[in-house]
Structure 1
Amino acid sequence: MNAQYIDSNAALNKFCTQLEHSSWLAIDSEFIREKTYYPELALIQIANNDHIACIDPYKIDQFSALIELFNNPDIVKIFHSPSQDLELFAHFFSAVPQNIFDTQLAASLLGIGNQIGYADLVNKLCNVQLDKKHTRTDWSRRPLSESELDYALDDVRYLGDIYQQLTQRLIETQRLEWLKADFAALSDINHYQIQWSSLWQKVKGNQKIKGRDLHYADQLCQWREKRAQHKNLPKRWIIKDEDIIDIARLNPQKIEDFKAIRTLKEGFINHQGKQIINLFKQADEIAEEEWPKHEKFKTLSVNQQTKADCLMAICKKLATQNDMAQATLTSKKDIDQLVLGKTSKLNEGWRFEMAGDTCNKFLRGELNIHIDKEGILQLI
C-alpha cells in the first residue's frame, strides 16, 4: 500500500471517507510534552488493510471526520499500550476512540510476555526487526524526513496482522470475552480526567507526612496542578515534589520563613510565597474530617501470611497452566487484600474465573493443597 501524508482539511476528509467501511483501524500518535503540561500532538498514524497515512495536526484544524471514525463502535481501534495516546486524544479531541483493542494487554493474557514492548511483539509475531534509529526524533520539527515518516508508520504497519493473530488465539483459548471489560474501560473518557482529591498520592515522599501537614500538601498539589494547567508548564517547573513536602511541614507564616528551604529559589518565594501562605490559611478552614488520610494497611498475622503464601503458590500454578506470567494474573497486594476480605482484583472479571474462585474456595476450606512425590503443587 502507498503511504499518504495528510496535511490539509480536505485531504483528511477524503482519507476518512476511504476508511469509513473498515473493520479495524491501527492507530498510534507522536507527541511532545517535555516542556508543557499538556502533551502537544505532533503526528497521528493510521492504517487499515488498504491504506496507511501520517496525519499532520499542525496543518489541520477540522478533525470532525476523524473523530467520527474514532466514535464508530463498529470499527475496532487497535493500539499497543494506548494509555498515553488516549490521554492525549481526550485532551486534544475531547473524545476517546470507542471499541479499543490493546495488543499489549491481549498478548499478556496469552502469555506472550508481561507488558511486552511493541518492537518485541512485532519481532515475535511478524518476524520483523524494527529499526530504532529515530527513537529520539523531535516529532514537532518540520519537515520530517522520509525515513522518519516511514519509522512512524511502522508503529501501525504491523498492528493489523498482530491483532488478527492475537484475536485468533484468544478465540481458541476462549479468552476474548475476558478482555471486554478491560477494553471498555479504556474508552471511558472519565478515566483520563484529573482526580483532584488524590493528586497528593502521586507526590514522592507523601508517606512521610500526615495530619495537617498532609492536608497542606494536598492543597498545594491542587494549587500546583491548576497553575501548571494555566501556564501549560510541567508541574515540576512550578514546584518540585520534595518542595511540596517541605513547605507543608514548614507551614510558613511570612515570606522570610520560606528561606528555611534551601531548594526554593528567591523568585519563587517572592512571587508565590504570599499565595501559598493564603492557601494554607484557607486550608485551615476545612474541617479535619475532610482532610486526606493514608490508607491503613493492616499487617498480616502469621496465620494470614501463611494463607497468603498458599494463595501465591496457587496463583503461580494457575498462571503457569494458562501460559501466563504470574504478574499478569495477580500481585502480592491483591492476594493480601483477598486474605483481609477487602476489594481485590482477584474477585473481578477474568481473574476471578481463572484464579479468584479457586482462591476463595481455599480460604473457605473447600479446597486443599499438597505437594506430591514429584514436588508438584496439587489442588484437592
Structure 2
Amino acid sequence: MLISTTSELENTCEELIAKKPKFIAVDTEFIRNNLIYYPKLSLIQISYGEKSFIVDALVPEIDLSFIKKIMLNQGITKVFHSCRQDIESLLTVFKCIPTPIFDTQVAAMFCHYYHDFIGYSKVVEQYQGIALDKIKAKNSDWLRRPLSEDQLDYAVNDVVHLYDLYQILCNKLEENNRMGWFQEEMESIVDINKYLHSPKDAWKRIKFNYEVNPRLILTVKAVSEWQETLAQRYNMNRNKIINNAVIADFIEKNVEHVDEILDDLKRNTKNIKDADLLEFVNIFNENERNWMQQNNTLSSNYDKSVLDILSIILDSKCKESNISRKLVSSKDELTGSISGQTDKLFKGWRYDFFGRSVESFLNTSSKFEISAVKSANNITKIQSNLVENNCC
C-alpha cells in the first residue's frame, strides 16, 4: 500500500495507533550520493503485522507529522535493521530520533559471531530460512517517480520480514542472557550527539598512524574540521570539499605549517571561496592554541605488539562467547582505547566483557596465558585466560 496523500496517511496512522501494537518494523529508502552531505529521504516503510504500508516522503505538502507521532510514541518499539542511516535520514525531516528502538543487526551480533557487520538478508536467511532477492532493486533511483512494482515489492518486503525477526531475536537475546547488554547499546544508539557529526571530531574518521609527529596530527585535525564544516554548510559530499586521501597524505608529505597546508588546499580543492580558505586559517590557529595549552601529544605509551596480542585475544574471546567482534571493538577502537584516546572499551557492558581484563593487563597486575586447543571438528583455535601476577 503506497500512501501519497495527507488524508491517507492520517487515516492509516490512526488505524495503527488504535491497534496499540507493542512494536512496529520500520525501514527507509533514501539517496546519499557522491554530491550531497545529507541524505535525501524518499520512502518510509512500516509494518505492524496485519498491515504494511509505504509512505512517499517526496510528495510535496504531505504532512509527515502523523509518522513523527508514532516514531516518538514510547509505548511502541520501533524495529530497524542497522538503524544508523535510517535515523540520519529521518532526522532530516523530523529533527528528532525515534524511540524506543530495537536494532536487529545489533541483536543478531550479540547472539552470534560474525566476521563483519551482518546484512539484513543474511539475518533473515539465518533465522527465518528465507532467501531474499536484494539485487533486483538494490541500486534503484529512489528519487525517480513513479516507483516501479519491483521497487515497491523490495521496499515492503524489508519490513514484513523485519517484523517477524523481532520476537525471534528477543527470544535469542534472553536465551543468551544478553538482553541487558543489548538494551544498554540501544540507549547509546539513540543519543542524538552520535548523529550531529561535530566538525571537531571529524579527524577521527581519517585513517592514520597515531604514532606520527603530533604536529602532523594537528594538521589532520584542522583540515578535517574545516572539511566537515564546509560539507555541512553547503550540503556537499566531504570528498567534494577535499578528498580524505589528500588529508591522510599530509602526514606522508610531512606538511605541518599553515602556509604549506593552504597551498595544498588550493591545489586540491575546487569552487572554494577565499572566505572559506580564510576560515581554515582561523580553524588551524584555534586547534594550534588548544594543542599548545593541553600539550596534547597523542603519543602511544604501548608497544605495537601489545595491540596485536590484545586483538588476537579479543577475537578469540568473541568466538568463544558467540558475540561479534565488530560489536565489541574494531581494531581502530582498540588502538584508541589502549592509547587513551577513547574510553569506549572501559564503560558499560564492554568493560564487563573485555575492558576490565585489558585494564588489569595494562596495569601489569595480571597476564594473559594463551594456548592452542583442538576443537571438536579438529580445528586449532586460540584459548586465553587472564591470570593474576604473583606478588613477590
Same fold (TM over 0.5): yes
2:80 aligns with: 79
Q: Report if aligned partners of 1:318, 1:354 keep a CA contact under 8 Å in 2.
A: no
TM-score (norm 2): 0.78
Q: Output the CA distance in 2 between the equivalents of 1:122 and 1:153.
A: 14
Q: Report if aligned partners of 1:335, 1:346 keep a CA contact under 8 Å in 2.
A: yes
Equivalent residue in structure 2 for 1:165, among 165, 168, 172: 168
TM-score (norm 1): 0.80
Q: Output the CA distance in 2 between the equivalents of 1:62 and 1:29.
A: 17
Q: Report if aligned partners of 1:102, 1:183 keep a CA contact under 8 Å in 2.
A: yes
1:240 aligns with: 243
Q: Tell me the alpha carbon deviations over residues 206-263 of structure 1, each in whole angstroms, 9 at most, x when there is no partner.
A: 977853x76566555444444433433323223334556769767459xxx9599655
Q: Tell me the alpha carbon deviations over residues 334-359 of structure 1, each in whole angstroms, 9 at most, x when there is no partner.
A: 66677678865443333333344455
Q: Report if aligned partners of 1:308, 1:339 keep a CA contact under 8 Å in 2.
A: no
Cα distance 1:200–1:368, how it changes in 2: closer, same or farther (>3 A)? closer
1:175 aligns with: 178
Q: Give 1:289 shift.
A: 3.2
Cα distance 1:19–1:335, how it changes in 2: closer, same or farther (>3 A)? same
Q: Report if aligned partners of 1:27, 1:79 keep a CA contact under 8 Å in 2.
A: yes
Is 1:61 aligned to 2:74, yes or no?
Answer: no
Q: Report if aligned partners of 1:200, 1:221 keep a CA contact under 8 Å in 2.
A: yes
Which protein is bigger by CA-based radius of gyration? 1
1:26 aligns with: 25
Q: Output the CA distance in 2 between the equivalents of 1:78 and 1:281.
A: 45
Q: Give 1:11 shift.
A: 1.1
Equivalent residue in structure 1 for 2:198, among 192, 195, 200: 195
Q: Output the CA distance in 2 between the equivalents of 1:53 and 1:145.
A: 15
Q: Give 1:332 shift.
A: 5.0
Look up the equivalent residue of 1:90 and give its one-letter code. L
1:322 aligns with: 321
Equivalent residue in structure 2 for 1:138, among 136, 141, 148: 141
1:38 aligns with: 38
Aligned pairs for 1:1-380 (under 5 A) are: 4-20=1-17, 21-34=20-33, 35-59=35-59, 60-111=61-112, 113=114, 114-131=116-133, 132-203=135-206, 211=215, 218-241=221-244, 251-252=258-259, 258=263, 263=268, 268=271, 272=273, 274-276=274-276, 278-279=278-279, 282=282, 286=286, 288-291=288-291, 295-300=298-303, 305=306, 309=309, 315-332=314-331, 344-357=343-356, 365=365, 369=369, 371=371, 377=383, 379=385
SS, match of residue 43 in structure 1: strand
Cα distance 1:144–1:283, how it changes in 2: closer, same or farther (>3 A)? closer
Unmatched segments (≥5 aa) in structure 2 = 375-379, 388-392
Identical amino acids, percent of aligned pairs: 28
Look up the equivalent residue of 2:47 and give its one-letter code. A
SS, match of residue 228 in structure 1: helix
